[in-house]
Chains A and B, each alone.
Chain A
Amino acid sequence: MADVNRPLSPHLQVYRPQITSMLSVVHRGTGVVLGVGTLLLAWWLIAAASGPEAYAQFNWFISGWIGRLILLGFTYSLFYHLCNGIRHLFWDIGAGFELAAVNATGWVVVIFSLGLTGLAWIAGYYMRGAL
C-alpha cells in the first residue's frame, strides 16, 4: 500500500478549480477546523465545571485578539459546514443534482455562511454591550 506507484488522492492539482470542487474542499477543511475547535468547546465546558478561576482564564483567552480570531474561524466553519451539510443531505435524497442547481445552491451556501457569521458576531458584540 505504501509503495503504490500511481497518482493518489487528493488530485487537486489536476483539475481546474470550480465552485463545486472548491466548496467540496472547504467542506472537508471546515470539518477539520471544527474538529480542532472542539478543544475550545471542551475547554469552555470543563472550565465552567472547574470553578471561577478556570472560567476567568478561558474568558481572558477567548476575549483576546487571538481568541477572537480563532472563534471567528470556528463560527464561520460551523455555519459553512451546517449550510453545505444541508446541501449534501438534499443530494443524498437525490434532489438538486442538475448542474444549474448545484452551482446555484453552492452560491447560496457561500452567501448564507457569510451572512450568518456576520449576524452572529454583531449579536455577540451587542451582548457584550459593545454596540
Chain B
Amino acid sequence: MSMQSPLGRVRGLGSAKNGTHHWWHQRLTALALIPLTLWFALSIVAMTGASHSAMLDWMNSPIVAGLMVLLLAAGFYHLKLGMQVVIEDYVHVEWQKITALIIVQFGCWALGLASIMAVVWVWTGG
C-alpha cells in the first residue's frame, strides 16, 4: 500500500513523468489555431475562384507561406491528437483500435508533410 496522497501522485505523474502532455499539446495547438483558422477562412473566401497564377502570386508571399505552414503543422498535430481520443473512446476491439491509430498517425504525417512541401515548393519558385 502506498502512503502517497492522491495529489502527490498526480504531481509526480507516476513513473512515466509525462501524463499531461497530450492534453496540454491539444490546448496549445487549439490556442494557436484560433487566429490561424480566422486567417485561413478569410483566405479561402478571398481566393474563391482564383486562377492558378493568382494562387501562385498569393502563395509567393513569405507571410502567406509562413502562416500556411504554421496552420498545417498545428492543424495536423491537433487532428492527430483529437482523432486519437475519438478512436480510443469508441473503438473497443484491440486490433481495430491499434490499426485505426496507426492509419491516423501515418495519414496525418503523410498529408501534413505533403501539404507543407507543396507550400515550400511554390514559395521557393518550384
Interface segment, one of A95-103, A104-112, A119-127: A119-127
- SS class of chain B's interface: helix, strand, loop or mixed? helix
**Quick one: given A2-B92, A48-B56, A79-B41, are A89 and B86 in contact (CB under 8 Å)?**
no
Contact call A38/B75, Cβ cutoff below 8 A = yes
Q: Which of B46-73 contact A (CB under 8 A)?
A: 46, 48-49, 52, 55-56, 59, 68, 72
In the complex, A128 Cα to B93 Cα: how many Å? 48
**A residues whose Cβ falls under 8 Å from a Cβ of B:** 1-2, 4, 8-10, 28, 31-32, 34-35, 38-39, 41-42, 45-46, 48-49, 51-52, 55-56, 59, 63, 75, 78-79, 82, 85-86, 88-89, 92, 116, 120, 123-125, 127-128
Sample 12 A-B pairs with CB under 8 A, ordered by A number.
A2-B93, A10-B89, A38-B79, A41-B115, A42-B118, A48-B52, A48-B55, A89-B27, A125-B48, A127-B45, A127-B49, A128-B49
Known A-B contacts: A1-B92, A32-B86, A85-B30. Give 15 more (CB < 8 A). A2-B93, A4-B92, A38-B76, A38-B79, A46-B118, A48-B52, A51-B52, A55-B55, A59-B49, A82-B33, A89-B27, A89-B31, A120-B41, A125-B48, A127-B45
